[in-house]
Amino acid sequence: MTQSASYQEIYPQKEQLKKLIKLYYTYRSDDQAGCERITYYPNYTVTLNIYRHSRVQWDAFSRTHTPDSGNPFLILLVSKFDRSREIIQKGVFDKLSIVFHPLGFNHFLSGPLSYYARDHFSFFNAFGPPFEELLKQVFATDQLTEKRDLLDAFFSRQLQGFQEDRISYAVHHILSSNGQIAVSRLASELGLSRKTLYRLFQRHLAYSPREYRSVVKFRNALNTYQKEREKPNFSSLAYAANYYDQSDLNFHFKEKTGLTPSRLFESLQTIERGLYWTLSQKSKTGHQS
Q: Going residue by residue through the chain (289 aa), what tens digit of pLDDT does each one get?
A: 555 789 899 999 999 999 999 999 999 999 999 998 889 899 999 999 999 999 999 988 899 999 999 999 999 999 988 899 999 999 999 999 999 999 999 999 999 999 999 778 899 999 999 999 999 999 999 999 999 999 999 999 999 989 999 999 999 999 999 999 999 999 999 999 999 999 999 999 999 999 999 999 999 999 999 888 888 899 999 999 999 999 999 999 999 999 999 999 988 876 555 566 676 654 443 333 2
Angle at 252 between CA 248 and CA 258, to 5 degrees: 130
Same domain, 103 and 56: yes
Q: Is the same domain home to 115 and 210?
A: no
Q: Are strands 275-283 and 62-67 parallel, antiparallel or unpaired?
A: unpaired
Looking at the structure, tell me whether residues 55 and 139 fall in a common domain: yes
Do 154 and 36 share a domain, yes or no?
yes
Report if residue 266 sits inside a domain.
Answer: no
Answer yes or no: do 145 and 176 share one domain.
Answer: no
Find how far residue 81's CA is from the centre of its chain.
7
Q: Are residues 243 and 277 in the same domain?
A: no
Q: Containing domain of residue 64, as a range? A: 5-161+273-283
CA distances from 121 to 54, 137, 257 (A): 16, 25, 18
**Burial class of residue 133 (count of CB atoms within 10 Å of its CB; 0-12, 13-18, 19+):** exposed
Q: φ and ψ at 182, to 5 degrees?
A: -75, 145
Domain harbouring 174, CATH code:
1.10.10.60
Instruction: Phi first, then psi: give them for residue 146, nearest 5 degrees.
Output: -70, -40
Query: Within this chain, do residues 233 and 123 fall inside the same structural domain, yes or no?
Result: no
Strand ranges, E, within 11-53: 21-29, 34-40, 46-52
> Which helix (H) or strand (E) is 16 found in, with range?
helix 15-18
Show Cβ contacts of residue 90 under 8 Å, excluding neighbours closer than 6 positions. Answer: 34, 35, 64, 65, 66, 67, 284
Residue 134 domain-assigned (yes or no)? yes
What is the value of pTM for the model shown?
0.92
Note whether 18 and 142 are same-domain residues: yes
Structural domain count of the chain: 2
